[in-house]
Homo-oligomer: A and B are copies of this chain.
Amino acid sequence: MKKIKIGMFGLGTVGSGVFKTLKDFPEISVEKIAVKNLNKTRNIDNFDNSILTQNPDDILENKEISIIIELIGGVHPAYEIIKKAIENGKHVVTANKELLAKHGKELFDYAEKHNTVILYEAAIAGGIPLIMPIKTILAGNKINKIEAILNGTTNYILTNMDKNEASYEHVLKEAQELGYAEADPTGDVEGFDSTYKLTTLATITFKKRIKLEYVYREGITNVQAEDIKYANELGYKIKLIAYATIDEQDNADVRVHPMFVSKDETLAHINYVTNAVTLCGTPVGKITLSGPGAGEMPTASSVVGDILSITRELGTTDYILPMMRCLHEQNQDAKVIPIEETENKYYLRLIAIDKVGGIAEMTKVFADKRINIETILMKEVTEDNTAEIVIVTETCKEKLIQETEKELLNKSYIKKIASKIRISK
């Protein structure tokens, strides 16, 4: 077997994990690693700094190197590095969810044109085997639904809010102290991270391109301790769900937002930083894959898995097979329907002034929109004469719920709509 030479971009958390793991594979040689800072102390035993470079071309122009590993993240200069690697006939392994969500199709097409492959198992759900199984052993399926927890930080926060009956603010602060959330947590808590991952996952799974800008996104910053309490009472857990479906006419419904998930579902029991992906398809039915969605070693598992998939082929032939090529397959664009046109069950928490006939008048607003109410809970009236009312609807169009919300707020005895959370069917 000929020795395969690779070049790495980035030697942070994941990069170090990849480097350590590759030591067990003598057939693979890391030739060069491009980094920003040559003198940073690396968390790797007996590390030889001479392998480092600040010049990307030391890798990109090295004809001996057949695979590059891109672990620097963000769009630039990752985009330029990957394009140049492809032009120079190198295969690419990347963990860059943002880049793939924004430029995936262009890069995949570019790789196809230059007879190379881009593998990206680590970009979505960290160490969980996902892209490769979908494209190999599940290839006989038409998968039409994805429901997933793709962000560890938000799942950690929601789990702690649930277990400790604590507020979002309190738990976020704690998570930041423990290093589970960043100083600026926006990318996670506002759902950007999940949205990037879902965009590529849905594109690859449905074999139709989903454009990032059409994916609806809502974070967890408005989820309150009261909502979690009511969720439990009603038999649910609240999770930040990455949700995507596609119908026979290629209409896709793709979105990231908090959701009530029934305790009967596996996803409801996925806690702390664990990620999970449920896929529904024919003939397989429903499967759920769960595990660590981030971290040095789990992510390294997927990066090394991708490297081995390429090196096994390169070791025996220079021909990259359809199994690899199919990982790019996506055909034409899907029609992503706007959130207003989607159908959901809803949980609404209203703050109302206690008054005779209030409930009757309020429920009439729903009835006029032909929205059926499945459950209604009203807890004791507080000292300031207000009451908290929880409504669970049957399935209806988002547009109708939005209209209902407006009309409710026109009623003088409705003080506010404290929460609206969609319920997973």
Contacts and interface: CB of A to CB of B under 8 A. Distances in A.
B317 A301 contact: no
Interface stretch (A124-132, A178-186, A376-384): A124-132
Nearest to A141: B301
Contacts of A387: none
A140 B24 CA distance: 8
Contacts of A322: 312-313, 315-316
Contacts of A308: 136, 139-140
A297 B284 contact: yes
B290 A284 contact: no
Given A137-B121, A319-B317, A321-B321, A287 B292 contact: yes
A289 B286 contact: no
A62 B316 CA distance: 30
A201 to B, nearest CB: 15
A16 to B, nearest CB: 11
B301 A140 contact: yes
Interface string A229-264: 000000000000000000000000000000000001
A73 interface: no
A7 to B, nearest CB: 18
Contact of A309 (B20, B137, B304): B137
A148 interface: no
Interface in A273-289: 281-289
Interface residues of A, number: 59
Contacts of A271: 264
Interface in A326-368: 326
Please classify the interface of chain A as helix (H, G, I), strand (E, B), loop, or mixed, using the class held by over half of its residues: mixed
A291 interface: yes
A295 B301 contact: no
A20 B140 CA distance: 11
A138 B321 contact: no
A285 B275 CA distance: 13
A77 interface: no
Contact of A25 (B25, B140, B284): B140
A323 interface: yes
A219 interface: no
Interface string A75-109: 00000000000000000000000000000000000
A322 B4 CA distance: 15
Of listed A127, A271, A283, A305, residue having the most chain B CB within 10 A: A283
Given A312-B321, A312-B323, A319-B317, A138 B21 contact: no
A266 interface: yes
B292 A289 contact: no
Contacts of A227: none
Interface in A146-185: none
B288 A290 contact: yes
A300 interface: yes
Nearest to A312: B322
13 contacts: A128-B287, A132-B132, A132-B137, A140-B301, A264-B271, A266-B269, A283-B296, A283-B297, A283-B300, A284-B292, A287-B292, A312-B323, A313-B321
Counting from the closest, the 9 A-B pairs by CB-CB distance are: A287-B291, A140-B304, A283-B297, A137-B305, A284-B301, A129-B133, A132-B137, A127-B284, A269-B269
Given A132-B136, A266-B266, 20 more contacts: A21-B283, A129-B287, A132-B133, A136-B305, A136-B308, A139-B304, A139-B305, A140-B301, A140-B307, A283-B297, A283-B301, A284-B298, A285-B291, A286-B291, A287-B289, A287-B291, A288-B291, A309-B323, A316-B322, A321-B321
